[in-house]
Chains A and B, each alone.
Chain A
Amino acid sequence: SQTIHQWPATLVQPVGSPLSLECTVEGTSNPNLYWYRQAAGRGLQLLFYSVGIGQISSEVPQNLSASRPQDRQFILSSKKLLLSDSGFYLCAWDQSGSSYNEQFFGPGTRLTVL
């Protein structure tokens, strides 16, 4: 069966510090991978998605970047965090070519920027 991992689970960082969140998927190959941010009282916002190694698409201009160094690894980074980067970050995957593209989410990372 497939599983998706995210770490860390929680993170408190000062403004201006760097960020690295990691997501890995097990039990599947060549998944589509996604990074979302969920702010309080708002719907999930798609930040990045990737259909393959080294292929990253950005949905919104921001202070963040993403990388996919391996087939089942997706990393969200920032060189200098802003207060507005606080939120709940979710990684998700689905299988390319499936009729529904049912999406499976990781447990999330709660980021607080102080």
Chain B
Amino acid sequence: KNQVEQSPQSLIILEGKNCTLQCNYTVSPFSNLRWYKQDTGRGPVSLTIMTFSENTKSNGRYTATLDADTKQSSLHITASQLSDSASYICVVSAGAGSYQLTFGKGTKLSVIP
């Protein structure tokens, strides 16, 4: 069964600090891995998409890494801001169709002043 596990489940950090969120997956075959940011009560918004051949991808202060051999990904947030408070969801695609997506439960990040 395809699975995506995220850790930690929740995280509290001080504004200005860095943090790293983890994602482990057992999805086969593998097409791509996505990170989404979901503000409370809103729809998820895409941060990055990485294919098998991509190790690192950045989007502003967000940097995602992918190790396809160990089936692990991380999302690093630099110099956190209060607006970074949200849930971060790791999603793995098993093929070309979006109906083949497996979603993690997300990491809830709270940035406090």
Contact = CB atoms under 8 A, between A and B. Distances in A.
B30 interface: no
Nearest to A45: B103
B43 A107 contact: yes
Interface residues of B, number: 23
A108 B49 contact: no
Query: Which range contains the number of A residues in contact with the other chain?
Result: 20 to 34
A42 B49 CA distance: 22
Nearest to A9: B41
Interface string A93-113: 010000011111111101000
Interface of B: 4, 32, 34, 41-46, 49, 51, 89, 93, 96-99, 101-106
Interface of A: 32, 34, 41-46, 49, 57, 59, 88, 90, 92, 94, 100-108, 110
